[in-house]
Chain A
Amino acid sequence: MVNYSDKIREISKRLLKDCKVDMIIGFRKGSVPMMNEPHFARTAEDVDELVWDSNCGINLANYLTDRKEKIGVAAKGCDSRNIVTHILENKIKREQLTIIGVPCKGMIDKRKIAGLVEGEVLEVTEDEEQINVKSSGGKKSFKKTEVLQENCAVCIHRNPVVYDEMVAEPVPEQTDVDRYEDVRKIEEMDPEQRWAYFDDLFKECIRCYACRNACPLCYCPTCFVDEAKPQWVGKSQDPIDIRTFHFLRAYHCAGRCTDCGACQRACPVGINMRMLTKKLEKDCKDLYNWEAGLTLDSRPPLDFYRPDDPEDFIK
Chain B
Amino acid sequence: MDSHRINQLTHQRINQSRRDTDMKIVAIDKKDWEKGLDRLREAYRLIGPVKEDRYHYFRELPQGQAPDFDFFNTRISAKEIVYPQSEDLFEYTLDETKEDYHLLKEVEKDYSPKAVLGIRPCDAKAVELVKLNFDTDDYKDPYWLRAWEATTFVGLACDSPCSTCFCTTAGCGPYHEEGLDVLLADDGDRYVAKVLTEKGENFMKAAGWTEGAEAEARFESGKSAAEEKIVSTVSTEKLRSADTLALHGNEEMWEDISFSCINCGTCTFVCPTCWCFDIQDEVHGKQGRRMRNWDSCMFPIFTVHTTGHNPRGTKLQRVRQRFMHKLKYFVDKYDAGIMCVGCGRCVQQCPVNIDIRRVCDLMDRYGATDACAVEG
Give me the interface of A with B, judged by CB distance under 8 Å: 30-32, 35-40, 58, 62-63, 111, 115, 120, 122, 136, 204, 206-210, 212-214, 222, 226, 228, 234-238, 265-270
Contacts and interface: CB of A to CB of B under 8 A. Distances in A.
Contact of A208 (B160, B266, B278): B266
Closest 10 CB pairs of A and B: A266-B351, A210-B264, A236-B86, A208-B265, A213-B262, A38-B260, A268-B349, A35-B353, A237-B86, A37-B353
Given A40-B259, A210-B351, A238 B264 contact: no
A267 B352 CA distance: 11
B264 A31 contact: no
Given A31-B357, A226-B301, A269-B55, A209 B264 contact: yes
Contacts of A236: 86, 280, 282, 291, 293
B358 interface: yes
Nearest to B301: A226
Given A62-B262, A266-B262, A214 B52 contact: no
B98 interface: no
Given A31-B355, A266-B351, A235 B76 contact: no
B354 interface: yes
A209 B260 CA distance: 15
Contacts of B280: 234-236
Q: By CB atoms of chain A within 10 A, which of B55, B296, B353 has the most?
A: B353
B262 A210 contact: yes
B347 to A, nearest CB: 6
A270 B54 contact: yes
B355 A38 contact: no
B269 interface: yes
Contacts of B57: 204
Contacts of B296: 208
Given A31-B358, A206-B265, A268 B353 contact: no
Nearest to B72: A120
Interface in B316-363: 347-349, 351-355, 357-358
B189 interface: no
A139 to B, nearest CB: 16
A39 B260 contact: yes
Interface of B: 52-55, 57, 72, 75-76, 85-86, 160, 162-164, 259-260, 262-266, 269-270, 278, 280, 282, 291, 293, 296, 299-301, 347-349, 351-355, 357-358
A62 B301 CA distance: 20
30 contacts: A31-B347, A31-B353, A31-B355, A32-B163, A32-B164, A32-B348, A32-B353, A35-B353, A36-B353, A37-B352, A58-B260, A120-B72, A206-B270, A207-B265, A208-B266, A209-B264, A210-B264, A210-B351, A212-B264, A226-B300, A226-B301, A234-B282, A235-B278, A236-B282, A237-B85, A237-B293, A266-B262, A266-B351, A266-B352, A268-B270
Contacts of A136: 160
A260 B352 CA distance: 15
Contacts of B349: 268
Contacts of B75: 268-269
Contacts of A234: 280, 282
Given A32-B347, A234-B280, A236-B280, A213 B353 contact: no
Contacts of A204: 52-53, 57
A207 B86 CA distance: 11
Nearest to A218: B262
B355 A32 contact: yes
Contacts of B357: 31
A189 B46 CA distance: 37
Given A31-B353, A208-B265, A268-B266, 15 more contacts: A31-B358, A32-B164, A32-B348, A37-B353, A111-B54, A206-B265, A207-B265, A209-B265, A213-B264, A234-B282, A236-B291, A268-B269, A268-B351, A269-B54, A269-B75
Contacts of A111: 54
B251 to A, nearest CB: 13
Given A36-B353, A120-B162, A228 B301 contact: yes
Contacts of B300: 222, 226
A38 B261 CA distance: 9
B351 A270 contact: no
Q: Which of A31, A36, A62, A222 has the most CB of B within 10 A?
A: A31
Contact of B354 (A37, A62, A207, A270): A37
Nearest to A34: B353
Contacts of A228: 301
Contact of A115 (B54, B72, B262, B293): B54
Contacts of A213: 262-264
A196 to B, nearest CB: 15
A98 to B, nearest CB: 19
B102 to A, nearest CB: 20
Contacts of A265: 351
A136 B231 CA distance: 13
A216 B349 CA distance: 20
Contacts of A207: 265
A40 to B, nearest CB: 5
A30 B354 CA distance: 9
A58 B260 CA distance: 10
Given A115-B54, A222-B301, A206 B278 contact: no
